[in-house]
């Protein structure tokens, strides 16, 4: 069942989107009609005007989900499941052309020759300007300047159309002709042949569909259109490879290069023979020579061409691009309307979504991911989200009894006897119980990331309530308690809970106790303050009445002041749950090996956006659930609130 849903996400989305669109249109229509009817008999500003507009809630939910579908490209996948695969093939063309484009303004702002020339000139200028401080004498310096002028001449020769190498002229012509040929081939309706399509699509056999695995977009073409672009891209890659090999090594350039080399070597031998220089001067001279030599060596690979040689190639590429655009046909429209802000990019061995579709997973994918990790056999990092586990009763009892209880009991642990046997005494028995080290029946307990998070919040909250409420009530009725504890609580309460986290997690360790203690101090302050407010709010007449009815101090506390403080206490619990929930997730991100916050943090490290969204949704829904439970409890336990 789940398998089926997971494998047919695209089709399911298609149905859901239609339902959402219909519901949106329907609810808006209904809402507008209803508003028109009500407008006549309602007073503007009446607070009741906001009630009973369920259809706007439907419209809101539907539009939110539709926006999600649009920006996550879920609509594209639902209705044009092949589009990503085809866009990927088109992207292959861009990838194949990228080496050529890197030499052109299309890919790099400037022609590559322009960039090289301006950079080399700037560096030669730098060297020439600094020549006076490198420890050369005047004669040597003049000679070096002459050599630099020679090197500048190399650039002039390279950029001069008259001295361009014959091979490179032929090479570019060849590239241009092949590109034009490929542009024509791309435009040829007879290409690719049915046979070619069959051969190439056979490679795509069995590859996973869009979004069904960690490979986001299927790589091999599945349609005739895709095959066309793929084959052209392969040919273009070969052309681009040849383009990269073209060099402008004219005889004039080689001759000049050799001449400079001879001159430089001769100069080097001469200046290196000079003796009696300081160490600093020696270093500076060597360094300057090395820089000049390195610059000069850049010219012998012939990568600088005359200004207009690439015009033909450029226009041929434009022809390829125009044909690429034309041959996309309806795909272009799909791309413009369904891939909100982003596209699919091919890089080396995979095609990936770039843009909102990347970090905003499709709704159905999020559900599928939830379904996958909700499966207790899979889980996340070998821990299920929430599941049942059989735990020995002994372990549960041991959880609540610290080992030191046994240590502080009077007496000592037994010593082994002469026959090597050990007879447990009372002290040892207590230790065994505290460590849960005996056979006992097992009972089912909850386990997993979600349960761990819930358990920590509930434990922290429980300690906060058990200790905070009595103190709060005592502070509400006793001058001593109020003034003695007020400074302590007011000093620690304003500290943001997470500011305690590093300290507490260091002291208690990353296991549950640290987090529970952190949540305890969060809940404690809230519970103290709310119980105190509730206790302070008890009407004097009620307390007097209970005195007259013969109640003792203890009875008044338990029977009158505590129930009277219940509304505030329950509101406090409701607030404390919310604050604890927020604190817990952040604490789990800091440290730990289980919990929803831990899951989200791991997913962040691996950029697993689907899991991140799953955790966000789980956190939101659990928070909502806590609040609903509290609202239910409040409605059931204190219906008398505010009616005293």
Partner 1 sequence: MSDLVADQLNMTFETPSGVQIHALKDVSFTLKKGELLSVLGPSGCGKTTLLNIIAGFLNPTGGLISLAGDEITGPGVERGMVFQQGALFEWLTVSKNVDFGLRMKKVPKDERAALVEKWLDIVGLQGFGDTPTYQLSGGMQQRVALARCLINDPDLILMDEPLGALDALTREKMQSLVLDIWNETGKTIMIITHSVEEALLLGERLFVMAPRPGRLFKEYELPFAKQGIDADLREIKQLKEFGEVREEILTMIWNMEEEIMGKGA
Alpha-carbon distance of 107 to 461, in angstroms, equals 60
Site pattern 625..644 for partner 1 (x: CB under 8 A): -------------xxx--xx
Is 152 a binding residue for partner 1 by CB under 8 A? The answer is: no
Residue 424 has what DSSP assignment?
-
Asked whether 13 and 78 are in contact (CB, 8 A), the reply is yes
Q: Which of 275, 349, 412, 541 binds partner 1 (CB under 8 A)?
A: 541
Is 348 a binding residue for partner 1 by CB under 8 A? The answer is: no
Question: Within 10 A of 522 (CB to CB), how many other CB atoms are there?
Answer: 26
Is 550 a binding residue for partner 1 by CB under 8 A? The answer is: yes
Residues 558-597 binding partner 1 (CB under 8 A) are 559-560, 563-564, 566
Nearer of residues 507 and 549 to partner 1, judged by Cβ: 549
Q: Which of 283, 297, 287, 289 is closest to 269 using CA atoms?
A: 289
Alpha-carbon distance of 342 to 336, in angstroms, equals 9
Q: Which of 446, 551, 557, 586 binds partner 1 (CB under 8 A)?
A: 551
Alpha-carbon distance of 373 to 387, in angstroms, equals 12
Q: Which stretch binds partner 1 (CB under 8 A): 215-223, 440-448, 545-553, 604-612?
A: 545-553
Written as six digits, the tokens of 346 are: 């091919």
Q: Which of 612, 617, 610 is closest to 602 using CA atoms?
A: 612
**Site for partner 1 (CB under 8 A): how many residues?**
23
Is 381 a binding residue for partner 1 by CB under 8 A? The answer is: no
CB of 569 to partner 1, least distance (A): 12
Q: Which of 49, 290, 381, 544 binds partner 1 (CB under 8 A)?
A: 544
CB of 635 to partner 1, least distance (A): 14
CB of 9 to partner 1, least distance (A): 53
Is 549 a binding residue for partner 1 by CB under 8 A? The answer is: yes
| Angle of CA points 517, 521, 523, to nearest 5° | 110
CB of 553 to partner 1, least distance (A): 11
Three-state SS annotation for 340-361: CCEEEEEECCEEEEEEHHHHCC
Is 555 a binding residue for partner 1 by CB under 8 A? The answer is: yes
HSE toward the beta carbon, residue 591, CA cutoff 13 A: 18
Alpha-carbon distance of 462 to 400, in angstroms, equals 14
Strands (E), 357-434: 387-392
Q: Which stretch binds partner 1 (CB under 8 A): 175-183, 193-201, 216-224, 550-558?
A: 550-558
Written as six digits, the tokens of 189 are: 């309706």
Distances (CA, A) of 115 to 143, 212, 307, 497: 28, 44, 12, 56
Nearer of residues 96 and 561 to partner 1, judged by Cβ: 561
CB of 530 to partner 1, least distance (A): 17
Q: Which of 375, 552, 593, 607 binds partner 1 (CB under 8 A)?
A: 552
Nearer of residues 84 and 570 to partner 1, judged by Cβ: 570
Question: Within 10 A of 149 (CB to CB), how many other CB atoms are there?
Answer: 11
Nearer of residues 221 and 567 to partner 1, judged by Cβ: 567
Interface residues with partner 1 (CB under 8 A) are: 539, 541-542, 544-552, 555, 559-560, 563-564, 566, 638-640, 643-644
């Amino acid at each position: 069942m789940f398998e089926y849903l997971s494998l047919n996400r695209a089709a399911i989305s298609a149905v859901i989107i239609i339902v959402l669109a219909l519901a949106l249109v329907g609810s808006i229509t209904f809402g507008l009609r209803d508003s028109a009817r009500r407008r006549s008999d309602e007073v503007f500003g009446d607070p009741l005007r906001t009630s009973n507009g369920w259809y706007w809630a439907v419209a809101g939910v539907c539009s939110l989900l539709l926006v999600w579908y649009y920006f996550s490209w879920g609509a594209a996948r639902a209705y044009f499941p092949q589009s990503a695969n085809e866009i990927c093939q088109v992207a292959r063309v861009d990838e194949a052309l990228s080496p050529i484009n890197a030499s052109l303004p299309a890919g790099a702002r400037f022609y590559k020759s322009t960039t090289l020339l301006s950079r080399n000139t700037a560096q030669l200028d730098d060297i020439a300007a600094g020549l006076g401080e490198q420890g050369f004498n005047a004669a040597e310096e003049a000679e070096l300047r002459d050599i630099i002028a020679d090197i500048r001449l190399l650039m002039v020769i390279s950029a001069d159309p008259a001295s361009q190498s014959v091979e490179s002229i032929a090479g570019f012509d060849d590239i241009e002709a092949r590109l034009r040929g490929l542009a024509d081939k791309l435009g040829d309706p007879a290409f690719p042949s049915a046979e070619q399509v069959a051969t190439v699509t056979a490679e795509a056999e069995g590859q996973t569909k869009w979004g069904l695995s960690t490979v986001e977009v299927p790589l091999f073409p599945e349609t005739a259109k895709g095959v066309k672009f793929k084959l052209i891209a392969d040919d273009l890659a070969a052309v681009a490879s040849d383009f990269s090999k073209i060099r402008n090594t004219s005889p004039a350039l080689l001759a000049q290069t050799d001449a400079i080399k001879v001159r430089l070597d001769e100069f080097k031998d001469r200046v290196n023979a000079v003796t009696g220089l300081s160490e600093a001067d020696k270093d500076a001279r060597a360094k300057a020579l090395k820089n000049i030599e390195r610059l000069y060596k850049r010219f012998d690979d012939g990568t600088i061409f005359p200004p207009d040689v690439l015009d033909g190639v450029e226009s041929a590429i434009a022809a390829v691009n125009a044909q690429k655009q034309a041959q996309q046909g309806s795909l272009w429209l799909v791309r413009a309307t369904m891939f909100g802000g982003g596209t699919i990019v091919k890089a080396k061995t995979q095609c990936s979504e770039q843009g909102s579709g990347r970090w905003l997973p499709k709704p159905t994918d999020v559900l599928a991911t939830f379904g996958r990790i909700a499966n207790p056999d899979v889980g996340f990092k070998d821990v299920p989200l929430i599941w049942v586990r059989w735990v020995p009763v002994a372990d549960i009892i041991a959880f609540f009894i610290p080992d030191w209880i046994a240590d502080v009991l009077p007496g000592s642990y037994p010593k082994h006897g002469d026959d090597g046997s050990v007879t447990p005494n009372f002290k040892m028995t207590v230790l065994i119980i505290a460590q849960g080290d005996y056979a006992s029946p097992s009972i089912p307990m909850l386990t997993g990331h979600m349960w761990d998070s819930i358990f920590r919040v509930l434990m922290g909250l429980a300690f906060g309530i058990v200790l905070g409420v009595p103190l709060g009530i005592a502070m509400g009725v006793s001058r001593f308690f109020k003034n003695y504890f007020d400074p302590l609580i007011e000093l620690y309460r304003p500290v943001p809970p997470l500011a305690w986290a590093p300290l507490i997690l260091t002291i208690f360790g990353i296991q549950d106790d640290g987090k529970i203690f952190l949540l305890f101090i969060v809940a404690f302050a809230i519970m103290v303050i709310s119980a105190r407010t509730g206790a302070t709010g008890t009407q004097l007449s009620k307390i007097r009445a209970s005195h007259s009815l013969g109640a003792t101090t203890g009875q008044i506390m338990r029977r009158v002041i505590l129930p009277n403080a219940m509304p505030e206490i329950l509101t406090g619990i409701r607030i404390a749950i919310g604050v604890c929930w927020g604190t817990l997730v952040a604490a789990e991100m800091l440290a730990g090996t289980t919990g929803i916050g831990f899951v989200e943090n791991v997913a962040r490290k691996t950029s697993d956006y689907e899991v991140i969204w799953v955790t966000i949704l789980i956190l939101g829904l659990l928070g909502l659930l806590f609040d609903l439970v509290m609202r239910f409890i409040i409605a059931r336990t204190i219906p008398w609130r505010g009616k005293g």
